[in-house]
Amino acid sequence: MRDMETPLKKVRGLGAAREGTGGFWRQRVSGLALAVLTLFVVGWIWSLKGAGYAEVRASLAHPLVAIAMALFIVISLDHMRLGMKEIIEDYAHSQGNRLGLSILNTFFTVAVGGVCLFALAKLAFGG
């Protein structure tokens, strides 16, 4: 019965991924957030030029810096995962490859995020 549908009805089916423009907008919004956070992170790193370990650790103990760094880590990894998802959907031709690569993409992102956030927490809270 699908061959009897009008082109508009086929478009409303949200395409092959059944997600519509949600991923598109999520990439754009995360990219905008990263642009702002990158300015903060680069400025923070620049302000610590020549600083020792103790000064960097003390700076990371400030709540604003720690929260901004955590947001930078989480948003950049999510943005990376979304971009890789697009590449996998476009270039992995078999359904099995797509599924396997999508799972690896998610696990890799979670693993890197966990390590980064653990390191940040350890530096920010001491120990």
Number of domain units in the chain? 1
Residue that is written with structure tokens 């620049």 in the block: 46
Give pLDDT, residue 15. 54
| 52 domain-assigned | yes
Mean pLDDT, 10 residues at a time, the chain of 127 residues: 63 58 88 97 96 94 96 97 94 92 97 98 87
Question: What integer pLDDT is reported at residue 19 of this predicted model?
Answer: 62
Q: Is residue 18 in a domain? A: no
In a domain, 63, yes or no: yes
Q: Strand, coil or helix: what is 16?
A: coil
Is 5 within a domain? no
What confidence score (pLDDT) does residue 23 get? 81
CB 111 within 8 A of CB 86: no
> Counting beta carbons within 10 angstroms of the beta carbon of residue 85, is it exposed (0 to 12), middle (13 to 18) or buried (19 or more)?
buried
Rounded distance between C-alpha atoms, residue 111 and residue 127, angstroms: 22
For 73, residues 6+ apart whose C-beta sits below 8 A from its C-beta are 113, 116, 117, 120
For residue 51, count other CB atoms closer than 10 A to its CB.
13
| Helix 53-60 × helix 95-125 angle, to 10° | 110
Q: What is the pTM of this model?
A: 0.81
Q: Which domain holds residue 29?
A: 23-125
Number of H-type helices and E-type strands within the chain: 5, 0
